[in-house]
Homo-oligomer: A and B are copies of this chain.
Amino acid sequence: MRPHAPKLSFMANQLDSIFSALSDPTRRAVVEALTKGPATVGDLHAAHDIALPTFMRHLGVLERSGLVQSEKKGRVRVVHIEAAPLAVIEDWLTRHKAMWEARLDRLEQLATQLEASGDPPPPEKGTDT
């Protein structure tokens, strides 16, 4: 395993479970529904044509990933969204978009310079990871 700070490894595991949780359309629909506010399991399930125990398994995946939290109130379980895990993905995207765009900026600058001089651009060197 590549050496990491412990925090980085924890975050990588979070990314595993968050991306995995969101890779299923049923679970993504649940997250989308919950952006409008908390809901009971029954309300959430009503929008899906699968058996209730199956649906509950999907909620379990969302809860283990941290995307939602639930609490039992009498005989109903109320579910609400947790913003922090979405921020983990957003952070990952932002960091990599910045790297990607920084590289595009350098390519654009190089292309602009070479257009002015009329020379063909040299090959872009690959970098080790």
Contact = CB atoms under 8 A, between A and B. Distances in A.
Interface string A23-55: 111001101110111111001100100000000
Interface in A83-105: 83, 86, 89-90, 93, 96-97, 99-100, 103
Interface in A12-28: 12, 15-17, 19-20, 22-25, 28
Interface SS majority for chain A: helix
Contact of A43 (B38, B86, B129): B129
A125 interface: yes
A119 interface: no
Given A81-B100, A90-B97, A93-B93, A12 B35 contact: no
